Amino acid sequence: MAGGHLFILSGPAGAGKGTLRKILFQKMDMVFSVSCTTRSMRPGEAEGRDYYYISREDFERMARCGEFLEWAEVHGNLYGTRKCDVEGVLYSGRDILLEIDVQGARQVKSRKPEAILIFITAPSLDDLESRLEDRGTETQAQLDVRLRNAANEMRSAREYDHIIVNDELLRASEELAGLIERYRDRTPVPSGGN
């Protein structure tokens, strides 16, 4: 049975991954894989829509039991994608998109080489810093950590199949949608139990 496509969206905090994803989902029928996290819920977020918010103890138990396709500690919090969520969607023939960090993308690519990795970035680190400050969701200490991590993440962009510079939201969203359409026009790869 043919399966759906597995798309991975990564990039530094402030690059606009979430905004681009939301625009994409207004245009296309695909499934968003909701990750588990140990971080606190931010204003405007909802359980089961943005993340599954779980305790560190529950997360670590799930990791020990092999329930995650990928997981990583990022900015002091744990994030992970449940295997069963992804496999079920792919098996049904639908496309699924994971919005995960660079560490997680590497894990998924090693387990599912057919995954399509897309890196979203801002034009510069200065631009990222401005976006994060404008967002106002982090303390100065958290902002400093995210900016240090952003520099490392941007160096990892060359590991991805595609890089989109989010310099102008409409243009970047059209580029992302066009990229996904090109993959959909190809024959889906078989869904395996990797």
CATH of 6-184, one of 3.40.718.10, 3.40.250.10, 3.40.50.300, 3.30.360.10: 3.40.50.300
Segment 9-28, tens digit of pLDDT: 999 887 889 899 999 999 99
Res 193 pLDDT > 50 = no
Res 179 pLDDT > 80 = yes
Which of 7, 5, 4, 194 has its CA nearest to residue 100?
7
Res 188 pLDDT > 90 = no
In degrees rounded to 5, what are phi and psi of residue 87?
A: -60, -40
Q: At what angle do helices 125-135 and 140-155 cross, to 10 degrees?
A: 150
For the chain, the C-alpha Rg in angstroms (whole number) is 16
pTM of the complete model? 0.83
Give residue 120's pLDDT. Answer: 96
Share of the chain above pLDDT 70, in %: 94
Residues 170, 122: Cα–Cα separation, whole Å:
14
Segment 23-60, tens digit of pLDDT: 999 999 999 999 999 999 999 999 999 899 999 999 99
Q: What share of the chain is helix, strand, coil (3-state, %, to 5)?
A: 45, 20, 35
Where residue 91 falls among pLDDT bands split at 50, 70, 90? very high
Residues 93, 87: Cα–Cα separation, whole Å:
10
* Residue 36 CA: distances (Å) to CA of 9, 10, 91, 157, 166: 16, 16, 21, 24, 26
Mean pLDDT of 65-79: 92
Between β-strands 31-32 and 116-121, what pairing exists: parallel, antiparallel or unpaired? Answer: unpaired
Mean pLDDT of 166-178: 95
Res 190 pLDDT > 90 = no
Segment 121-161, tens digit of pLDDT: 988 777 777 777 777 677 888 777 777 888 788 889 999 99
Q: Where are the domains of the chain?
A: 6-184
Give residue 174's pLDDT. Answer: 97
Res 64 pLDDT > 50 = yes
Residues 28, 137: Cα–Cα separation, whole Å:
29
Where residue 187 falls among pLDDT bands split at 50, 70, 90? low
